[in-house]
Amino acid sequence: MAGNEPSARPRSPHLQVYKWTPAMAVSILHRASGDGLAIVGACMFLWWLGALAAGPDAYAAFLACVWHDPSPEVGLVHQITNIVGKVVLVGLTWAFFQHLFSGLRHFVLDTGAGYELKTNKLWSIAVITAGVLATAATWLYIMAGAL
């Protein structure tokens, strides 16, 4: 337990003292993306669901804040939140795919497979790449539909 160690031996997880590798990056990204989804993603989902249940006016207010305010003169607050909302949604899309692919990698690792150094490195890089590509593909699809 931190603060009660009898010696100054290094403890995990102390990111600063390790040499970064793809496996380490995908590990910490799993935690970062998971925590992002758990806090920002879950709250955004509940906000959306609550607005949907509360009726058309509440739903329109949610959209005007997060996505696009249709009024002719958009206030400064919504000008900012319309941008922040889109950034957050793209970030959540990336976190979703990163956590999904990384989680699938963990299922494979749970079977005892994929620990050889080269294999491990290959799949770590593949997870990070696939997360970015899937996010890009999703938003290209969404924007193609919106245009």
Partner 1 sequence: MGNGTHLGKVRGLGSSGHGAQHWLQQRLTALANILLVGFLFVSLVRLPLGDHAAVLRWASNPTVALALILMVVSVFWHLRLGLTVLIEDYVHGEATRLLSLVLLNFYAIGGAAYGIFAIVRIVLAPAAGLAPGGM
**Would you tell me which residues interact with partner 1 (CB under 8 A)?**
1-4, 13, 31, 34-35, 37-39, 42-43, 45-46, 49-50, 52-60, 63, 67, 96, 100, 103-104, 107, 110, 138, 141-142
Least distance (Å) from partner 1 to the CB of residue 117?
A: 25
Query: What is the torsional sign of CA 82, 88, 91, 92?
Result: negative
Nearer to partner 1, 110 or 117 (CB): 110
In terms of CB distance, is 50 or 75 closer to partner 1? 50
- What is the distance between the alpha carbons of residues 134 and 100, in angstroms, rounded to a whole number? 11
**Closest CB to partner 1 among 70 and 118?**
70
Query: What is the CB neighbour count within 10 angstroms for residue 51?
Result: 19
What is d(CA 141, CA 41) in angstroms, rounded to the nearest whole number? 21
The nearest distance, CB 118 to partner 1, in angstroms, is 26
Query: What is the nearest approach in angstroms of partner 1 to the Cβ of residue 58?
Result: 7
Contact 125, 52 (CB under 8 A): no
Q: Nearest distance from residue 5's CB to partner 1, in Å?
A: 11
CA–CA gap between residue 24 and residue 105 (Å, rounded): 13
Nearest-approach distance from CB 6 to partner 1, in angstroms: 12
Distance of alpha carbon 93 from alpha carbon 76, whole angstroms = 26
Tell me whether residue 60 or residue 80 sits nearer to partner 1 (CB atom).
60
Residue nearer to partner 1 on the CB measure, 40 or 121: 40
- Euclidean distance between the first and final Cα of the chain, in Å? 55
